[in-house]
Amino acid sequence: MSIIAGISTPIGNGAISIVRMSGEGALEIALRFFSCKKIREGELIPNYMYLGTFHGDNFKDRCLFVYFKAPRTYTGEDLVEFHLHGGVTVTQKVLHTLLQNGAIMAENGEFTKRAFLNGKIGLDEAEGILGIINAESETEISASYSVMQGTVSKRVKPIGDRLMKVVSMLEAWFDYPEEMEDEVNSDVFPELEAIKTDLEALLSTAKQGRMVHNGISVVLVGRPNVGKSSLLNAFLREERAIVTDIPGTTRDTIAESIVYKGVRINLLDTAGIRESTDIVERKGIERSLDAVAKADIVVYVLDASVPEKPDKAMTEGAHGKIIYVNNKVDIAEEQGEYRNISALKRMGIDELLDEIVSVVGNKRMYGEMLTVDRHISAVASALDSLNNALNNRFASFDCLLVDLKDCLTSLLEIDGGTASEKIIDDIFSRFCVGK
Ligand code: GDP
């Protein structure tokens, strides 16, 4: 493989910047430009930082240099790093020097891709690294950390191994039908049923896992003027608001994210999509119902000062939990039957947030959950194939084997064993250059 080089820190002026280079021969290129007394005297200990000088064509920088020796490196190849003074020009000039002397520019995520191609990490573990880089809350960090540690493949692998045994047994039976018949009937189908139970258990963690990874989506509904926008503001006032685009939201919806007790909550206020003309109003209602159907939690805001019953039409199609709240309790004559709050006076807001975040469960369970969409889809399609196999078990031997092999392929996709080039490229393109 070629020698790749890239800047591993964000471009901008800072205390330090790191230029990385990986591949057989990277050390030789590096030592043409880096010098320090100890290395000149013959010492070069891997994983040690050396303070010395980078000698460019017409520039120099005092920097730290470290050499990681293959195969015990991030990429599995010889890897070097220059820790430079963090200036944009000096960093780019160091990179250009390496590029002019045998290295080629690394693509997005190419260092991590090499780690995967060299068998250092599974594809799922690479996704864990990506998750940590992009995490916006503590829960996302813990979930991604556990993915990076390989917990998903550790759970899936034994299931795949058992399935592989069944497939081998069936293939043997195909060759020696008489000798194997009893064994197949008594062992194979109970084992397939057991595998199915395990896959179902794994998949049942996906709903919470998605919330842990992507945040809990909460939609605020209720009549105009009940205090939805005020409630959104009350949420935002206390907690750290994240300014990012939430997928699936449009400009006229008010969408904000906050982090509460380490959990991301993606809030959507439907007030903004129910305004002005009839056509807009109708479209607004449709969109509001669409948001309700996709939400993990619907907060139905009622005005405690004007007794009213919830309108079922507003939560039609909801799949998640519905929490009814009586807002404006500060001016109400009596307390209502639902959770009493005052968005204006900030009464009962933390208790409401506590109820919202309780849906992701206990922190200790994050490691057990499927949190990455790709892993969830793979397990779901493995389960589909297994169900097909079990439902058509007496139809044809060939079909049974095809379904079981499809099941196996889906499971092996998780750590990348059977993942297509497209899937692999797609994952690494989401990394930055230099990672
Ligand atoms: P929305 O149309 O549902 O988004 O309602 P708004 O948030 O715009 O609130 C409508 C009116 O109710 C505003 O005048 C708010 O100040 C007021 N309001 C909202 N929450 C409370 C509350 O808890 N107590 C009181 N007294 N007034 C509130």
**227: CA distance to ligand 1 center in Å?**
4
- Mean pLDDT of the 120-125 span: 96
- Residue 348 CB less than 6 A away from ligand 1: no
Ligand 1, atom 18: closest residue by C-alpha: 227
- Residue 233 CB less than 6 A away from ligand 1: no
> What's the pLDDT score for residue 173?
79
Helix 110-117 × helix 421-429 angle, to 10°? 140
Strands 49-55 and 60-68: antiparallel
d(CA 45, CA 369): 41
Q: pLDDT tens digits for 183-211?
A: 666 788 899 999 999 999 999 999 999 99
**224: CA distance to ligand 1 center in Å?**
9
Q: How far is CA 98 from CA 92, 345, 422, in A?
A: 10, 61, 30
- Mean pLDDT of the 291-317 span: 91
> What's the pLDDT score for residue 408?
95
pLDDT higher than threshold 70 for residue 274 = no
Q: pLDDT tens digits for 417-429?
A: 888 888 888 899 8
Mean pLDDT across the chain: 89
d(CA 389, CA 395): 9
Between 85 and 273, name the one with better pLDDT.
85
> What's the pLDDT score for residue 282?
65
- Residue 274 CB less than 6 A away from ligand 1: no
Of the chain, the percentage scoring pLDDT greater than 90 comes to: 68
d(CA 49, CA 81): 9
| Collapsed DSSP state (helix, strand, coil) of residue 23 | coil
pLDDT higher than threshold 60 for residue 276 = no
Answer yes or no: are the C-beta atoms of 263 and 360 closer than 8 Å.
Answer: yes
Of the chain, the percentage scoring pLDDT greater than 70 comes to: 91
d(CA 356, CA 362): 13
Quote the tokens at residue 22: 């990986």
d(CA 221, CA 318): 12
SS3 content of the chain, % helix, strand, coil (to 5): 50, 20, 30
- Residue 343 CB less than 6 A away from ligand 1: yes
**243: CA distance to ligand 1 center in Å?**
24
**304: CA distance to ligand 1 center in Å?**
11
Between 278 and 313, name the one with better pLDDT.
313
> What's the pLDDT score for residue 183?
66
For residue 248, what pLDDT band results from cuts at 50, 70 and 90? very low
In the numeric block, the tokens 């509001």 are attached to: 288
Sign of CA dihedral 301, 307, 312, 314: negative
Q: pLDDT tens digits for 49-84?
A: 999 999 999 999 999 999 999 999 999 999 999 999
28: Cβ contacts below 8 Å, ≥ 6 apart: none
Q: Which atom of ligand 1 is nearest to the CA of 347?
A: 23
The burial class, CB within 10 Å (0-12 / 13-18 / 19+), for 52 is: middle
b/e string for 33-51 if b means 16 or more Cβ within 10 A? bbebeebeeeeeeeeeebe
> What's the pLDDT score for residue 172?
81
**322: CA distance to ligand 1 center in Å?**
21
> What's the pLDDT score for residue 320?
92
Ligand 1, atom 24: closest residue by C-alpha: 328
For residue 337, what pLDDT band results from cuts at 50, 70 and 90? confident
> What's the pLDDT score for residue 280?
57
Q: In what order do the strands lie in the sheet with 34-35?
A: 34-35, 49-55, 60-68, 79-85, 16-22, 4-7, 104-105
Q: Which 3-state string (H, E, C) describes 328-394?
A: CHHHCCCCCCCEECECCCCECHHHHHHHHHHHHCCHHHHHHCCCCHHHHHHHHHHHHHHHHHHHCCC
pTM for this prediction: 0.84
**381: CA distance to ligand 1 center in Å?**
47
Residue count (the chain): 435
pLDDT higher than threshold 50 for residue 244 = no
> What's the pLDDT score for residue 202?
96
Q: Which residues pair with 142 in a beta bridge?
A: none
For residue 20, what pLDDT band results from cuts at 50, 70 and 90? very high
For residue 163, what pLDDT band results from cuts at 50, 70 and 90? very high
**233: CA distance to ligand 1 center in Å?**
10
> What's the pLDDT score for residue 335?
74
Give me Rg for the CA atoms of the chain. 28
- Mean pLDDT of the 140-161 span: 94
**230: CA distance to ligand 1 center in Å?**
6
Q: How far is CA 349 from CA 54, 155, 260, 329, 359, in A?
A: 57, 39, 11, 12, 17
> What's the pLDDT score for residue 306?
87
User: Which of 230, 275, 305, 347 for a ligand 1 pocket mutation test, highest count of atoms within 8 Å of Cβ?
Assistant: 230
- Residue 227 CB less than 6 A away from ligand 1: yes
